[in-house]
Chain A
Amino acid sequence: MELRPLNVSNTNDKYKTYELFIGPNHPGISGNFSYVLDMEGHKVANVTPDPGLLHRGFEKLMERRLWTQNLALIPRICVPEPDVNEVAYCMGVEHLAGIEIPKHAQYIRVIVLEMARIAAFLFSFAGLGGSTGLYTAPNWSIGDRDYILDLFEWLTGGRVYHIYQYPGGVKKDIPDGWLDKLLELLDYLESRLPEYDNLIFRNPILQKRTKGVGYLPAEKAIKNGITGPNLRASGIKWDIRKAQPYLVYDELNFDIPITGEGDAFARTLQRRLELEESIKILRQCANQIPDGPYKVKIPNPFQFRVPAGSYYSKVESSKGEFGYYIVSDGDVKPYRVYVRGPSYSVGLYYANEIMRGMRIEDVPVWIHTMDICPPDFDR
Chain B
Amino acid sequence: MLKHVEKLRGMGLEANPLKDWEFEVSVPKERVAEVLSYLKSTGFKAFIHLACVDWIDEGEFELVYNLESYEDALQAVVKTRIPRNNPTMESMISIWGLCQVYEREVHEFFGIEFVGNPNLKPFFLENWMDIPPLRKDFNTLVYSEELFEFKEDETHGIKAPKRIEHK
Interface residues of A (CB under 8 A from B): 51-52, 55, 57, 59-61, 63-64, 222-225, 227, 236, 238, 243-244, 310-312, 321, 323, 325, 327, 335-336, 338, 340, 344-345, 348-349, 378
Q: Is the CB of B140 within 8 A of A338?
A: no
Check if B46 sits within 8 Å of A222, measured CB to CB: yes
Choose one: A222, A310, A338, A348; the contact of B49 (CB below 8 Å): A338
B98 at the interface (CB under 8 A from A): yes
**The one of B20, B51, B70 that contacts A338, using a Cβ cutoff of 8 Å:** B51
Distance (whole angstroms) from the CB of B23 to the closest CB of chain A: 11
Q: In the complex, what residues of A have CB within 8 A of residue B47's CB?
A: 225, 345
Among the listed A57, A321, A335, A378, which residue makes an inter-chain contact with B133, where contact means beta carbons less than 8 Å apart? A57
> Which stretch (B6-14, B30-38, B118-126, B148-156) binds chain A?
B118-126
Would you give the shortest CB distance from A232 to chain B, in whole angstroms? Answer: 11
Complex: chain A residue closest to B62, CB-CB: A327
| B side interface size, CB within 8 A | 37
A52 with B54, Cβ < 8 A, contacts A223-B98, A244-B21, A311-B18 known: no
User: How far apart sit A312 and B109, CA to CA, in the bound complex (Å)?
Assistant: 20
B residues whose Cβ falls under 8 Å from a Cβ of A: 18, 20-22, 45-49, 51-54, 64, 66, 68, 70, 73, 75, 77, 96-98, 100-102, 109, 123-126, 133-134, 136, 138, 140-141
Q: Is the CB of A55 within 8 A of B124?
A: yes
Are B101 and A345 within 8 A (Cβ)?
yes
A–B Cβ pairs within 8 angstroms, 17 of them: A51-B123, A52-B126, A55-B125, A57-B140, A59-B109, A59-B134, A60-B133, A60-B138, A223-B96, A223-B97, A243-B73, A244-B75, A310-B64, A312-B22, A323-B49, A325-B49, A338-B49
Q: Are B75 and A224 in contact, CB atoms less than 8 angstroms apart?
A: no
Minimum-distance CB pairs A-B, first 8: A52-B124, A338-B51, A243-B73, A340-B49, A55-B124, A348-B101, A336-B53, A349-B101
B54 and A336 form a contact (CB under 8 A): yes
User: In the complex the two chains form, is A327's CB within 8 Å of B53's CB?
Assistant: yes
CB of B22, distance to nearest CB on chain A (Å): 7
Pairwise interchain contact A344-B101, C-beta atoms closer than 8 A: yes
Expressed in whole angstroms, the minimum distance between the Cβ of A62 and any Cβ of chain B is 11
Give Cα distance in the complex from A312 to B76, angstroms: 10
Q: B77 to chain A: which residues have CB within 8 Å?
A: 312
User: Considering only CB atoms, which chain B residue lies closest to A309 in the complex?
Assistant: B18
Min Cβ gap B110→A in Å is 11
Among B64, B73, B77, B124, residue most surrounded by chain A Cβ atoms (within 10 Å):
B124
Query: Would B64 and A325 count as touching, CB distance under 8 A?
Result: yes
A223–B140 CB distance below 8 A: no
Residues of B within 8 A of A344 (CB): 49, 101-102
State in angstroms the CA–CA spacing of A313 and B20 once bound together.
Answer: 13
A312 — which chain B residues lie within 8 A by C-beta? 22, 66, 75, 77
Residue of A nearest to B70 (CB): A238
Asked whether, in the complex, the Cβ of A51 is within 8 Å of the Cβ of B49, the reply is no
In the assembled complex, which residues on chain B have CB atoms less than 8 Å from the CB atom of A310?
53, 64
Which residue of B is nearest A242, CB measured? B73
Complex contact B98–A224 (CB within 8 A): yes
Are the C-beta atoms of A225 and B73 separated by less than 8 Å?
A: no
The complex places the Cα of A243 from the Cα of B71 at a distance, in Å, of 10
A340 & B48 in contact (Cβ 8 Å cutoff): yes
Docked-complex contact A222 and B53, CB < 8 angstroms: no
Q: Which of A57, A61, A64, A349 makes the CB contact (< 8 A) with B97?
A: A349
Contact A225/B124 with A64-B141, A349-B101 known, Cβ cut-off 8 Å: no
Do A222 and B123 have beta carbons less than 8 Å apart?
no
Q: Looking across the interface, which residue of chain B has its beta carbon closest to that of A218?
A: B70
Residues in chain B near residue A243, CB distance under 8 A: 21, 70, 73
- Known contacts: A236-B70, A243-B73, A349-B101. The answer to whether A223 contacts B45 by CB under 8 A is yes
Query: Are the C-beta atoms of A60 and B98 separated by less than 8 Å?
Result: no
